[in-house]
Structure 1
Amino acid sequence: MTHEFAFPSDVADLPALERLTEEINALQSKLIMLAGSGKTRLLRALAQRLNGEALNVGATLGRRLAVTPVSDRGFSTNELLREITDGVGNDAPLLLDNLEVLFEPSLKVNPLNVIKLLAHSRRVIAVWPGEVRNDRLTYAGMGHPEHRDYSRDGVVVFETAQRQ
């Protein structure tokens, strides 16, 4: 099932995102990807409203991977991210930003699946670092070593409207 929500790009999106965050509990995959302009600002506003914090995946996971032997990083990525996110209260949604580290080719992981695995057991709201086009989530251009192209299946996309 694919869902799309388009609203003005600003923290005015916050009430709609809060409602969606509550409604997503009924779905099998509890993953909301923020797309469009103002994603990080919107995620931070949601974190503040929930008295929580957005997790900077790049910085946090990057530090853990830096001390992991290169040959073990691909196998360790899911486990390390699970350990990091287990420290965040289970009742609150998991708020993820700066996912770019997951696209590092040497990790040999599927970034979207890594995030989807987290969303099977809890609500996850993540900033998609790429674009949404024609029902596809894309990251980096064709020919780029980090290029990815995914179906939106199993993902609720909260797309902010582009400002004029």
Structure 2
Amino acid sequence: MAPPLADLIAEQVEQASRLYHRLVIVAGPPRSGKTSALRDLHHERGWPLVNINLALSERLLELSVKQRALRVARIVDDIVHEQAGNVVLLDNIEMLFHPDLQQDPLRLLQTISRNRIIVATWRGVHLGTSLTYAAPDHPEFRRFEEPQALIVSSGGVPGSSGATSAQEHSA
């Protein structure tokens, strides 16, 4: 029997501290246990848990569409820096993929993971050396080859069984 998803994530957090990009991505489809695992880690270890959609939308409200695209990376960085501790859990990151914000969400997460360990949920799958976000017919679909992050696959993906797949790629 596979260990609980929260335990797999915690193992990857330990490994992430030695990497250039201290990024752990928890990939899986909706309702595959990603948010529950982050909540468990928040309660068990005291790591801050941030709903990026909520925190970011509150700060973008008064900005024009152009200002939003220009400032979103700095705002996300500020949100992370406001959290205590060396590990920050990010849930509900879908807003980072919105076309109006003109972001490369993976690169943004990698950038903020230089100074802290970032664990982010990811609505997609990790197969081989690629990481996808959303379904291919979805307007926010993205495929990233060799994502330079540690990947934990949550349930609901054929063949994943909650198993962890870690990849380290030097920058």
Q: Deviations over 1:65-109 (max 9, x none)?
A: 1221112111100011111111101x3301000010011101111
Distance, in Å, in 1 between the alignment partners of 2:134 and 2:7 is: 31
Amino acid at match of 1:132: H
Q: How does 1:142-157 map to 2 (within 5 A)?
A: 142-157=136-151
Match for residue 79 of structure 2? 84
Percent identity among equivalent residues? Answer: 27
- Are 1:44 and 2:39 an aligned pair? yes
**For residues 139 and 153 of structure 1, do their structure 2 counterparts lie closer, same or farther at Cα, with a shift above 3 Å needed?**
closer
TM-score, structure 1 length as denominator? 0.85
Deviation at 1:111, TM superposition (A): 0.9
Match for residue 8 of structure 2? 16
| Conserved 8 A contact 2:8-2:152 | no
Q: How does 1:9-158 map to 2 (within 5 A)?
A: 12-36=4-28, 37-89=32-84, 91-158=85-152
Deviation at 1:161, TM superposition (A): 4.2
Amino acid at match of 2:27: A
Amino acid at match of 2:20: Q
Deviation at 1:131, TM superposition (A): 2.1
Q: Deviations over 1:41-60 (max 9, x none)?
A: 11111111122331000011
2:94 counterpart SS class: helix
| Conserved 8 A contact 2:123-2:134 | no
> RMSD in angstroms over aligned alpha carbons?
1.9
| Conserved 8 A contact 1:44-1:53 | no
TM-score, structure 2 length as denominator? 0.81
| Conserved 8 A contact 2:131-2:147 | no
1:124 counterpart SS class: strand
Paired residue total: 154
Match for residue 4 of structure 1? none
Q: Which has the higher contact order (CA 8 A, sep 6+)?
A: 1
Q: Which runs of 5+ in 2 are unaligned?
A: 162-171
